[in-house]
Amino acid sequence: MKKRLLSISVVLVFALTGLCTAYSGGDGSAETPYRISTPQDLNDIGVNPGDWDANFILTGDIDLSGYSGTEFSIIGSYPDNPFTGAFDGNSHTVSNFDYEVSGISYIGLFSFIDGGAVIKNLTLQDPSVTAATSDYVGALAGYVKDVLLIRCRVLGGSITADDWVGPLSGKTDSGAVVSFCSSNTPVTGGDYVGGLIGENRGTVSKSFSTGEIDGSNYVGGLIGNDYMIVSDCFSAGSATGDNRVGGLIGRQNTFQAGEKTENCYSCATVTSSGSYKGGFVGYEQSSTSLFIGCFYNNQVNSGLNGIGNTSDPNVVGITGTAMRDKDTFTGAGWDFAAESADGTDDIWQIQQHQSYPCLNLFTVGDLNADGIVNCYDLGTFCNHWLEKIE
């Protein structure tokens, strides 16, 4: 009897110990989130759907190179079981997320996010997502709805899928808010392909893309197919496709009252063999779309209109020289640091006559506005050394 009681006691101790050491600590509450410090911790979130409404925080950088194919357990499941909790990257990086699948949709580190979830302060470095014949594919998320995505970046790597493809998310639906997000990741897909988001029906602000984007229809340097609000954003990579291809947005629709594109620019290279291609927007679906203070580089895309099938006085083609002039943008009401006439939020900054505008969330040393200060910024500086200011 004593031996049996001892055995039961040992089992209970181990069971309780397991409960107390879920992940690397924490209890999943907002005050004491689960601590994610190892690749196994991150994988375990996907293994435990009962925790998809909990709170998590990264305590260090995580390398997922030990997982390949479909070995990693992605988080959330469409349509009935989304991730609805909070995930704070805590300014850390998840690197080498490698996922390869065919014919299965809603793919990303997070498959489906909804229910007021928050994903913030997270960098994905060198993801490799290959999802042939799959839709709703991203590095961070396949599909998001009622979600706040803030200060999330996707850098390097590559994404290849079919339709609704973007590094941040394949699709952001009504209720999604995206802010201070960016990507330089190259993307290859079919329809609804963007440098940040494949299709947007939410609100996107203060975000940008510098990646090389290649698709078929509805291809944009930032967003492939847009229905709602895009403000204070830019694209500076390339957009290549067959039809409805734009430097910032592939196709602009009107979804509901409040839809607008405001204070955005594109210097992305646009390449298309189809009829509808534009330096800013490839195709405007509705004549009621609202553009405010928008620009595109008409030297990078010589011969293209700002909008592929129409024109708008608030989508203006300008030279590279004008794009490096702060007065061009303050004259249109853009809010820059060190001025208050157009607002005090200090959204934009510029190296006058040296760089294009970049968002005021990185150090001024980021001369090429890709979100990183590195040798490429030195190259930008050297390219403009002793350049004549016109």
The pLDDT value given to residue 64: 98
Answer whether residue 330 shows pLDDT above 50: yes
- Residue 195 contacts residue 169 (beta carbons within 8 Å): no
Name which of 125, 48, 133, 138 is nearest 94 in CA terms: 125
The pLDDT value given to residue 366: 59
Residue 7 — very low, low, confident or very high, per pLDDT cuts 50/70/90? very low
Residue 389 — very low, low, confident or very high, per pLDDT cuts 50/70/90? very low
Answer whether residue 25 shows pLDDT above 60: yes
Answer whether residue 116 shows pLDDT above 70: yes
272-328: pLDDT as tens digits: 999 899 999 999 998 778 999 999 999 999 999 999 999 999 999 999 999 999 999
Answer whether residue 218 shows pLDDT above 50: yes
Q: Which CATH architecture has domain 27-321?
A: 3 Solenoid (2.160)
Name which of 327, 246, 328, 334 is nearest 292 in CA terms: 334
Report d(CA 136, CA 146) in Å as an integer. 16
Of 97-111, 310-324, 373-387, the poorest mean pLDDT is in: 373-387
Residue 225 belongs to what H/E stretch? Answer: strand 223-226
- Predicted TM-score (pTM) above 0.85: yes
Give the tokens for residue 233: 């954003």
Domain ranges in the chain are 27-321, 322-390
DSSP string, 14-76: HHHHHHHTSTTS--SSSSSPEEE-SHHHHHHHHH-GGGTTSEEEE-S-EE-TT--TT-S--B-
Answer whether residue 385 shows pLDDT above 60: yes
